[in-house]
Structures are given as C-alpha cells and as structure tokens.
Amino acid sequence: MLGALLVAAIGGIHLYLYFDYFHRIHIIGGLFLANAAAGLLLALWLLASRGALALLAGAGFAATTLAAFLISVQWGLFGYHERFSGTWQSTAGLVELVAAVLLGTLAGRSLLRPAGDAHRLLGDRASPAP
C-alpha cells in the first residue's frame, strides 16, 4: 500500500507541476502529463496486485522519473535545464528515491522466495500465501 501511495504521489506532483508551469514547456509539459497518468495507473495496479511484476514496474517508474530529473539538471532534457535545488525538486526527488528503493526491495524479496513462480510474478491473489 505504501508503494502505491508513493507512486501516486509521484504522479500527483507531476500533475500539479504540469498545471503550475510545465504545460508551457514544449515536450517536457507532455511528459509531465504522461508521468501523472502513468503514476495513477501504476498505483492502481500496485493496489490490485501483489506480484513482482507490478512492484518492478513501480520501481522502474520511480527510478526512471528520478533519472530524467537528474539528466535534466546535469545536461538538460529536450532543451530544458532544471535546477537541482528547490522545494518541489527536493520533494519529488525524495519521493522517487524512496519509492524506487522500497518497491525494488519488495520485488527482489518476492522473486527470491521459493515456489509459485508464475503466481509470484503476476500477483495472482488466488495463489497460496508464501
């Protein structure tokens, strides 16, 4: 549940920032909107599934969102250079980092448990509890 909330928060932050400023920036604005939609869909998937695939997707989403931010700070992304410091930058970066570590750890633990490979990967709720 915490992982789903963190992923939803990432999407929510990007949705807020889209309407606050980034809707004005070519390409980046659309990516912020896509990030918000992906965050919502992934959060719903994480709530509906306990499978490693959903956990990996959430971890990947958080990690790539953080990576895109860091690339934008260091080299620029699609012609836009972001600042590293600021309230929204710190908040988003921290949420993305915590989500990536938490969901990645949970996915790893899920995959390392013995037996029930397909059920564990897909999160079949009908499968026996480990």
DSSP 82: -
**Residue 103: inside a domain:** yes
Domain around 8: 2-122
For residue 61, is it within any domain? yes
- Position 128 in a domain: no
- The one-letter code for the residue type at 1 is M
For residue 80, give the 3-state DSSP assignment. Answer: strand
Task: With respect to residue 88, please indicate whether it lies within any of the assigned structural domains.
Answer: yes
CA distance 38 to 43: 8
| 105 in Cβ contact with 62 (< 8 Å) | no
129 within a domain of the structure (yes/no): no
Flag whether 48 is in a domain: yes
Dump pLDDT digits (tens) for 8-57: 999 999 999 889 887 888 898 889 899 999 999 999 999 998 788 999 99
Overall number of domains in the chain: 1
Residue 6 lies in a domain: yes
pTM for the complete prediction? 0.81
For residues 55 and 106, the answer to whether their CB atoms sit within 8 Å is yes
**Residue 127 belongs to some domain of the structure:** no
